[in-house]
Copies of this chain bind each other. A is one copy, B any other.
Amino acid sequence: MDQTGMSTTSPKPLIESDRVEGTAVYAANGHRIGTIKCLVIEKVSGKVVYATMSFGGFLGFGNKLHTIPWEKLVYDPSLGGYRTDITEDQLRAAPTFTQDDDWSDRSRERDLHEHYRVPPYWISGF
């Protein structure tokens, strides 16, 4: 997986945000577990750091949104969607954010990164 969660094998170096939104996400076992609702961008660096995922009733999550570190998603052309190695158990236990949150609570972000065992983007220079 590359650092950004986006495949580098595509001949197209750029992608529009509104094409990513709505794209399916698949678990390691190939099951479709939800869709990407939007990307979350760090203002200072202009970098994509999270994707919010709608599970749409998959896995019994109802319509809750989950925030996933962007590097946990990798585009798989054969699936026409993103693949993640996040497990169902990890998703069920994950800290949740909603679109009404203001993203200004770094301690909650820290919890999220620890949960998914991904180095925080604001420290690693990711």
Query: Smallest CB–CB gap between A49 and chain B, Å?
Result: 7
5 pairs, A vs B, C-beta closer than 8 Å: A8-B44, A12-B43, A13-B43, A15-B40, A39-B41
A89 CB–B CB distance under 8 Å: no
Tell whether, in the assembled complex, residue B2 and residue A14 are in contact, meaning their CB atoms are under 8 Å apart.
no
Given contacts A18-B21, A47-B47, A48-B48, contact A13 B42 (CB under 8 A): yes
Establish whether residues A17 and B17, one from each chain, have CB atoms under 8 Å apart when the complex forms: yes
Q: Which interface class (under 10, 10 to 19, 20 to 34, 35 or more) fits A?
A: 35 or more
Binding site for B on A (CB under 8 A): 2-8, 10-21, 37-50, 52, 70, 75, 99, 102-104
Does the CB pair B12–A102 fall under 8 Å? yes
Q: Is the CB of A16 within 8 A of B46?
A: no
Establish whether residues A4 and B104, one from each chain, have CB atoms under 8 Å apart when the complex forms.
no
Asked if B46 contacts A48 (CB within 8 A), the reply is: yes
* A37 adjacent to B18 (CB under 8 Å): yes
In the complex the two chains form, what is the Cα distance from A6 to B49 in whole Å? Answer: 15
Give the complex CA separation of A46 and B3 in angstroms: 8
**Other CB < 8 Å A-B pairs besides A15-B103, A17-B41, 18 of them?**
A5-B46, A6-B44, A6-B46, A12-B102, A13-B42, A13-B43, A13-B44, A14-B41, A14-B43, A14-B49, A14-B50, A17-B20, A17-B38, A18-B37, A20-B41, A46-B49, A46-B70, A47-B47
